[in-house]
A and B are shown apart, each in its own frame.
Chain A
Amino acid sequence: MEARSNTAVGVTLTINGVERNASIEPCVTLLDLLREEFHLTGTKKGCDHGQCGACTVLVNGTRINSCLVLAVSRNGSEITTIEGIGTPDELHPLQEAFVRHDALQCGYCTPGQICSAIGLISEGRAKTRDEIREAMSGNLCRCGAYIGIVDAIEEVMAAPKRKTVP
């Protein structure tokens, strides 16, 4: 990558296990790169200001808001988006649990909720229901599916580990 530029800069990211390159302006956020350049539109733009969590993805395994991150500053990182989590035939345990617990209505917040919940589980900090609620408070759901969301996460946390968790 060129060190200094106000025009296009090259970035290389490993997205859902696949290495991808793009030439972008430094002002492009990770969220816009994913959606506009790579057409990975599973990651949603809710507020674009860090206030809703719809854009949550995992960067090197850590959950973050992709709307407040300049893509160039994460050059070389591994990104996991909802497209890299489960398949229609073999859902991720959290996706199964979300279905089972009615943890969504319109579904707009769901990709962010699932990525956030995967981050929460790998952080290993939240244990109680209160702690899960607090640790998920960065993901708003305008449909108010919160009870189902926490139920789903609690269930997956209690279940014996399966190997599909990325």
Chain B
Amino acid sequence: MRRFEYLRVASINQAIERLSDEPGAKLLAGGTNLVDLMKYDVATPTTIIDINDLPLREISETSDGGLRIGALATNSDVAFHPVVENRYPLLASAILAGASAQLRNVATVAGNLLQRTRCSYFYDVMTPCNKRTPGTGCPARNGLNRNHAILGASQDCVATHPSDMCVALAAIGTMIIVQGPNGARSISLADFHRLPGDTPEQDTTLQNNEIILGIELTPAPEFQRYSYLKIRDRLSYAFALVSAAALLTIDDGVISTAHVALGGVAHKPWRDTAAEVVLVGRPASRGNFDQFASMLLLRSDALSENGFKIELARRTVVRALEQAASRTPQSQSDKHIH
């Protein structure tokens, strides 16, 4: 690990000032991604700004029936919060599908949003990688790309966003509250993560000198039909090959709302609201789910090793919707898929 200066800040403004003054400075939350990347020399911050004393851990209901979650709330705090368990069980389920108990006890909401890809070239400083070192090329495009994107990739980068939590946030509808030198602003989750285009070094639309204060979840009714289904190479403690977050409202057998997001398939959680509209007003049947999944994947593209993910994603979406419709969400401890 390269040497760095350590600064523990007592105020949000102090953190923003330092970020503005020093482009090489990085915020430290749980550290489970940043410290790991520093050990590989992929992240080489000149200063670590430790924000763990900032008052950003609170989880509170908003006046309109949504939920505000502080940037430093741990993944465990969120998954086991009574309001999340009751009104956002999809979020609790997605978080519990990720990483391990030890990691979730430390990992924070903001850190999870900003975690970087797990592309093996990105992690290996001996290889080129446009995301790590812009302009050097993308060896994954014609190399080891079994885990890589099938949607929204570019010539310059075919990496995926590895988060489970963010897939649920995309389906629920979430605002990210951030603050910079010119004050606070909100970014919708859909606009927060980017597609790689020709600037894959930028994962998100967050500016270098902005800090995430927290997130706000769209108001959600109790006891929704939901499921988070994550498919991976082993049953636990592995990143998704493909995952699907499904939220449904059904009245008299007819779908009134459908929100579906996919993980493990693109540079950001993948959601297609135009395709979702097609499900509205139709019976909650396998045939309709099938048609929807095919629409969602219409523009998917296979790389040399990941063609299987297209069919896997299609089946995962259909199964997650069936699980949601029948109120039998995927359990994250009993791994049988019913």
Contacts and interface: CB of A to CB of B under 8 A. Distances in A.
Interface in A29-64: 29, 48-51, 53, 56, 62-64
Overall SS of chain B's interface: loop
Given A48-B39, A53-B100, A134-B333, A69 B236 contact: no
B173 interface: no
A4 B237 contact: no
A39 to B, nearest CB: 22
Contacts of B333: 126, 128, 130-131, 133-135
Contacts of B39: 48-49
Nearest to A137: B236
A5 interface: yes
A63 B102 contact: yes
Interface string B233-252: 00111000000000000000
Interface stretch (B5-13, B142-150, B180-188): B5-13
Interface residues of B, number: 34
Interface stretch (B30-38, B131-139, B199-207, B312-320): B30-38
A73 interface: yes
A73 B4 CA distance: 14
Nearest to A75: B8
Interface stretch (A92-100, A102-110, A116-124, A150-158): A116-124
A4 B6 contact: yes
Contacts of B38: 27
Contacts of A9: 6
A119 B100 CA distance: 13
A5 B101 contact: no
